[in-house]
Amino acid sequence: EPEVTQTPSHQVTQMGQEVILRCVPISNHLYFYWYRQILGQKVEFLVSFYNNEISEKSEIFDDQFSVERPDGSNFTLKIRSTKLEDSAMYFCASSDTRGLGGYTFGSGTRLTVV
Amino acid sequence: GQQVMQIPQYQHVQEGEDFTTYCNSSTTLSNIQWYKQRPGGHPVFLIQLVKSGEVKKQKRLTFQFGEAKKNSSLHITATQTTDVGTYFCAGLEDNFNKFYFGSGTKLNVKP
């Protein structure tokens, strides 16, 4: 079964450093998403991406965040200057139909900011 | 903005007992989905409901979408230890590009 692949599985970074989280969505999917989950809490929407541009973003997705699809397969989330409160599990998801029929989530990157 | 609430937050049951989680939206939904997240894992899509009053079954799991399309429930009959995890609903409003996830119900099943 097709999978969404995320790397790294765990990233530890110092406060103020930049991190890039990487995702390889399912190859025939057109809609891509980043969600985050602070430990033990709900899954929070960050951003959706379609046709090489952001289609929607949440209040969490401020100027320190950016997304990119640098080639035909990767989808990245960059956090420019990490803060302690950015520590969370970051999930990438993809869909072929705007989420109708379900998202396929990757296994996540656990980001720890120290 | 849209809010999707789930109750209860936690549920501890003895293996063999039934379990239900409820999802309520502040707005009418065009689509509601359910996901299961095992401890330490990622959300996995279970099912989607789109019609008012719709009921769908997957083995011991029964999913319902309310008549007003503002609430939904997931019922598990005769829980097993493999049912352990957090169950999230996710709702989609018309003209929106994202699903709002509920806060989740964490199910623990004691053998």
pLDDT at residue A1 tops 80: no
Distance CA A15, CA B29 (A): 39
Q: Place A20 in a pLDDT band, splitting at 50, 70 and 90.
A: very high
> Which of A98, A102, A108 lies at the smallest CB-CB distance from B48?
A102
Contact status of A5 with chain B (Cβ, < 8 Å): no
CA distance A35 to chain B (A): 10
Strand A19-24 relative to strand A5-7, pairing: antiparallel
User: Which one, of B77, B11, B6, lies nearest residue B35 by Cα?
Assistant: B6
Residue A33 is classified by DSSP as E
User: Which one, of B93, B36, B101, lies nearest residue B70 by Cα?
Assistant: B93
More confident residue, A42 or B63: B63
pLDDT at residue A88 tops 80: yes
Q: Place B26 in a pLDDT band, splitting at 50, 70 and 90.
A: confident
**Ramachandran angles phi, psi of B94, nearest 5°:** -60, 145
Q: Place B1 in a pLDDT band, splitting at 50, 70 and 90.
A: low
pLDDT at residue A86 tops 70: yes
Q: Is there a cis peptide before residue B43, judged by omega within 30 degrees of 0?
A: no
Contact status of B104 with chain A (Cβ, < 8 Å): yes
> Which of A56, A91, A107 lies at the smallest CB-CB distance from B98?
A56
